[in-house]
Amino acid sequence: MKRILILFLYILSGICVESFAQTLYNDSLNWIKANQELKSANYQQACSLYMELDKDMDTIYTEINSKKIEDLRKVYSINEVQLQKNMVQSKILELIAWIGITFIVLFIAFFFYIKKQNKRLIHSQEALNRAKGLAEESIRNKSLFLSNMSHEIKTPLNALSGFSEVLTMPGIDEATRQQCNDIIQLNSELLLKLLNDVIDISCLNVTNMKFNIKPCEVVELCQNVITTLGAIKQTEASISFETGLTSLELETDADRLQQMLINLLVNATKFTKQGSIVLRVEKIDDNTAQFSVTDTGCGIPLEKQGHIFERFEKLNEKAQGTGLGLSICLLIIKRLGGSIRIDSQYTDGARFVFVHPLKQEARS
């Protein structure tokens, strides 16, 4: 059995079988001799033979172990190469992963950069479009201004020239002379108002312009405005003032407030040939007063109501006026801390409403 086990180990270890058979034959002879010597009581010779057998077994085991060790070394060498290969592959995969992550981060950063640049470009384009629109509006306003000024100045100047010449003619009666004088006076006032409107529309845009704010009794001021316009009106419509207040004091620039009221009332007389024009004032709460000018004229179409406060905007291009009156009213009431609007619910003519604070807030 022991020899079969040794043969099996030889075969597994790859040692030559022929060499093993020779060794096995020699050992068998020695084994027989040793047993014979042991039976013959020749113990020394038997011990010598057994020791030689043991030596042969050690040799066989040594060869087997050497072969095994060599095989293990080869296997280890192969595993080490495979391990190094795996490590290299792992490092390559890790490098590829880092490159991929870096690329993704760069792509995201580039995407947001392009998005930010696009937003800036869009904002720049919008600013450019706004500037272009303002420039076009400025050119349009300039053209309208020159056109209006040419017409508005020419009309009263022709009247002044013509009726001044009539006054110098001999033989005219006193009634004709008085009529010519009234016409000259009216057209002189039109020219003065025209110049004042142009000055106002330029000055009111200056942010550091100071208003003369002080307490003002507005009920009395409104009555005086109605009296003044009643004397010079060029319409058959009645002009009246209505209020439930006996007095109302507010902090304002009296001249600017009077200018607003006159502009609104004169504007109403241009489009109200008959009927009535009513100025109203009321106190709507402890902090605010409300003024309104209501007429029974032709009214203002809805499509024009959103633009009526723009400069040079005229309801009727043939009507006398510069188209600056309502825009001046808007600028004045804003500086006084109020607001102005047209009442779109009123359909029997036109109604302009503006509110004014009773007390002016401190302004830096």
Residue 7 — very low, low, confident or very high, per pLDDT cuts 50/70/90? very low
On the question of pLDDT at 322 being above 60, the answer is no
DSSP result, 168-216: TSTT--HHHHHHHHHHHHHHHHHHHHHHHHHHHHHHTT-TTPPP--EEE
Tens-digit pLDDT profile for residues 198-250: 666 665 554 555 678 899 999 999 998 888 777 667 778 899 999 999 999 99
Summarize the confidence of residues 21-42 as an average pLDDT. Answer: 62
Q: Which of 265, 189, 257 is nearest to 220 (CA)?
A: 257
Of 274 and 19, the structure prediction assigns the larger pLDDT to 274
284, 289, 290, 335 from 339: Cα distances, Å: 14, 11, 10, 9
Per DSSP, 309 falls in state T
Summarize the confidence of residues 47-66 as an average pLDDT. Answer: 66
Tens-digit pLDDT profile for residues 185-210: 767 776 776 676 666 666 555 455 56
Summarize the confidence of residues 33-51 as an average pLDDT. Answer: 67
Tens-digit pLDDT profile for residues 291-312: 999 999 888 888 887 778 776 5
8 A C-beta contact, residue 7 and residue 24 = yes
Using only C-alpha atoms, the chain has a radius of gyration, in whole angstroms, of: 58
pLDDT score, position 291:
96
- % of the chain surpassing 90 pLDDT: 17
pLDDT score, position 11:
46
Q: Which of 290, 221, 282 is nearest to 254 (CA)?
A: 221
On the question of pLDDT at 53 being above 80, the answer is no
Neighbouring C-beta atoms of residue 170, cutoff 10 Å: 4
Summarize the confidence of residues 52-64 as an average pLDDT. Answer: 65
On the question of pLDDT at 23 being above 70, the answer is no
pLDDT score, position 17:
45
